[in-house]
Amino acid sequence: MKVKRTMLNFMLLPAVLPVVFVFISCEREYPIPIKEKEVAYELAQPQDTFNLATAALFENFEMGSKTSYAGASITLSTGTWYLNNALIGTSSSDRKHGSKSVRITSTGKLTMKFDKTNGAATVDIYHAKYGSNGSSKWELWVSTNSGSTWSKVGSTVTTSSTTLTKASFSVNISGNVRFEIRKVSGGSYRINIDDITITNYETTSTPTRDDNLALGNPSGALSNILYPNNYLMVKPQYVLSYNNSKLTSNWVSWHLSSAWIGSAPRQNNFRADNTLPSTWVWVGGTDYSSSGFDRGHMCPSADRTGSTTDNSATFLMTNMVPQAPNNNQITWANLENYCRKLVDEGNELYIISGPWGQGGTGSAGYKTTISSKKITVPSYVWKVIVVLPVGSNDISRINTSTRVIAVWMPNTQTVKNQPWGYYRTTVDYIESKTGYNFLSNISSSIQSVIESKVDNGPTN
């Protein structure tokens, strides 16, 4: 993906883009990666310039005044900010490019009180020790839901120099964003923060059909008949691990972007998958009949409408699990529709879903298997969804702020009593139940953060 990182280009900014900010008192602390690394910085140049013609957001704190550390809002050139255990420093001991900078003590915070509506590609922040104080650490946090919750961006930064130094963060989030700087160590030692630049997130990429297994093989499935209960099947439209004992998939993995969406009609040609080994039992298109359970797609038909061939592939019975009708047609379907809404909004998704356990309740009551072939009825169905703005080099763009939706949904008729968002959980939880390793192609430090979050973003 080609990301335009637009920046302001001027030396002293008397006024910049006006924006409105909101202080957040309710926040959710997400775990920090176990292994932290220091952010690479550059020494600040007092004559740094910015391009006003392509302005994103720049704050140099020259327009505000606050002389007390007590929490309060102040109006700056970009709008209103909230400073808690922080003030606007003007003394000779304050490190600054102009005549002012923010000085933060204790575990103080500097909070934007608005949503920047055109996203963020990068954030640059200049920082230094105040006077002769000792070193401190601080972090950048981002909210994409108007400050209801926050997640950490990048690594913890150590401020150990009395020279203003630039810390750069790669964000790559579209839509509404707001940021908060948190001093997390150093006690009464103080730090100065100056010249914050947030570049717009823009993309010129065209949606493409990408690797359906890009994020990793959750169960280490192999295309080897000697592994009948973890048998890898790679199709152009999706990839799955098949379980010959349960006669369903273990999981199905697929990529979803607008490149997969077209006008092909629903084929409804449910049928056996003749690419299975000939000596195995094949589930046919009528084997769910009169069972009280739907032939529940894992990779949905509506996710593959680019051609008749693509859509037809989703009706292979290896892509089905016995799903309670109210699950399949209502709650699960609403989640599927929401995924396509995200695509319509300019995102691409990597999705993995599957069944778990044995025993579900359909329209004909509780069953552990259906058909004379003894097809396993799962107790739950689950899904993991990674959301990215449309682009390329997708693995490298996943960071600790990437939205990940994980759902663990009972395979029952009463599941419809709650919206799909009610069933959100963590990727870690689904891993603990299934034994799978999701997102294994992503660095472990990023995994540890995004897999431990319960998504609380929009649901419709």
396's CB contacts (< 8 A; 6+ apart) are: none
Domain boundaries, the chain: 41-198, 231-450
The model scores a pTM over 0.75:
no
Half-sphere exposure at residue 287, Cβ-oriented, CA atoms within 13 angstroms: 26
Q: Which two tokens stand for residue 455?
A: 């998504």
Q: How far is 346 from 144, CA to CA, in rounded Å?
A: 16
Burial 320-347 (b: 16+ CB within 10 A, else e): bbbbbbbbbebbbbbbbebbbebbeeeb
Catalytic residues: 297
Q: Do domains 41-198 and 231-450 have the same CATH topology?
A: no
Say if residue 379 is exposed, middle or buried (CB neighbours under 10 Å; 0-12, 13-18, 19+). Answer: middle
Q: Which two tokens stand for residue 295?
A: 């032939």
Do 423 and 408 contact (CB within 8 A), yes or no? yes
| Greatest CA separation for the chain | 84
Q: How far is 386 from 349, CA to CA, in rounded Å?
A: 5
In CATH, the number for domain 231-450 is: 3.40.570.10
- Sequence-separated contacts (24+) of 275-278 with Cβ below 8 Å: 275/233, 276/233, 276/242, 276/318, 277/225, 277/228
Q: Which two tokens stand for residue 127?
A: 């920082």
In order along its 460 residues, the chain shows pLDDT tens digits of: 433 333 333 333 333 333 333 333 333 333 333 333 333 333 333 333 333 334 479 999 999 899 999 999 999 988 899 999 999 999 999 999 999 999 999 999 999 998 898 889 899 999 999 999 999 999 999 999 888 899 999 999 999 999 999 999 989 888 889 999 999 998 999 999 999 999 988 765 789 999 999 999 999 999 999 999 999 999 999 999 999 999 999 999 999 999 999 999 999 999 999 999 999 999 999 999 999 999 999 999 999 999 999 999 999 999 999 999 999 999 999 999 999 999 999 999 999 999 999 999 999 999 999 999 999 999 999 999 999 999 888 998 898 889 999 999 999 999 999 999 999 999 999 999 999 999 999 999 999 999 999 999 999 9
Q: Which CATH class is domain 41-198?
A: mainly beta
Q: Is the C-alpha dihedral spanning 9, 13, 19, 25 positive or negative?
A: positive
